[in-house]
Amino acid sequence: MIKISPSLLASDFSRLGEEAAACFDAGAQWIHIDVMDGHFVPNITLGAPIVKSLRKCTPAVFDVHLMISDPYKYAGDFCSAGADIITFHLESDSNPAETIALIKSLGVKAGIALKPATPAEAVFPYLTDIDMVLVMTVEPGFGGQSFMENQLPKIEAVRRECERLGIPMDIQVDGGIAAETAPLVKKAGANVLVAGSFVFKGDKKAAVELLKQPV
């Protein structure tokens, strides 16, 4: 089944709680929360206290995407704040195995994100320990960028390896997901679609329904 995770980065930050609730009401089971530290990526967004406040507004799965240099240091704060799954970048400074173990020890699911230049094979050693692989389809740091079609083979390669290992992995895509690009990523093997601009620029329900269509 395809899961949709609207990215709050594209929402009205003065009404974050209502925006998160509206996504769930529109049929999105997940909410994607982009955390940026101004170091791993050029922007700064929000931290654990905001995630904690949002927790009161919706029962949606909190899908926290850490675009920060030291996820090991902050993952615990996001677990306590109510994250259901925490995805950190393989390119960050933290030790991946230790970061996965920490997140899971706190009862939260763990995911690994790959920037566009990182090959699929880099995540293979961790596949048996994680719940999700996030294949970035733009350079992390900004919403509203164009989808990178050259990431499709990476999605296919991760799906192929998970099937070879017999692991029912969630494969998430993030960046430039819209009506034209959603079928491409689904065909390649992605089953969790993040969408910022596409969901928040118009009718949320129609956008979520369209993205959810099976290929």
Catalytic residues, by residue number, are 34, 174
Distance (Å, whole) CA 104 – CA 131: 10
Segment contacting ligand DX5 by CB under 6 A, of 20-28, 45-53, 87-95, 188-196: 188-196
Q: Which two tokens stand for residue 6?
A: 């609207």
Q: Under 8 Å CB-to-CB from 92, ≥6 apart: which residues?
A: 40, 66, 68, 69, 70, 71
Rounded to a whole number of angstroms, the minimum distance from the CB of residue 91 to ligand DX5 is: 13
Q: In a 10 Å sphere around its CB, with 0-12 CB exposed, 13-18 middle and 19+ buried, how is residue 98 labelled? A: exposed
Per CB under 5 A, residues contacting Zn ion are: 34, 65, 174
Distance (Å, whole) CA 197 – CA 179: 12
When CB distances are held under 5 to 8 angstroms depending on the partner's kind, the choice from ligand DX5, Zn ion, none that residue 64 binds is none
Paired residues of 87 in beta bridges: 65, 111
Segment contacting ligand DX5 by CB under 6 A, of 52-60, 78-86, 98-106, 133-141: 133-141
Q: Taking CB under 6 A as the rule, does residue 154 contact ligand DX5? A: no
Segment contacting ligand DX5 by CB under 6 A, of 6-14, 73-81, 114-122, 183-191: 6-14
Window 49-78: contact mask with ligand DX5 (x via CB under 6 A): ----------------x-------------
Closer residue to ligand DX5 (CB): 63 or 131: 63
The interface with ligand DX5 within residues 71-130 (CB under 6 A) comprises none
Rounded to a whole number of angstroms, the minimum distance from the CB of residue 43 to Zn ion is: 11
Neighbour count for residue 113 (Cβ, 10 Å): 24
Chain-centroid distance of CA 180 in Å reads 20
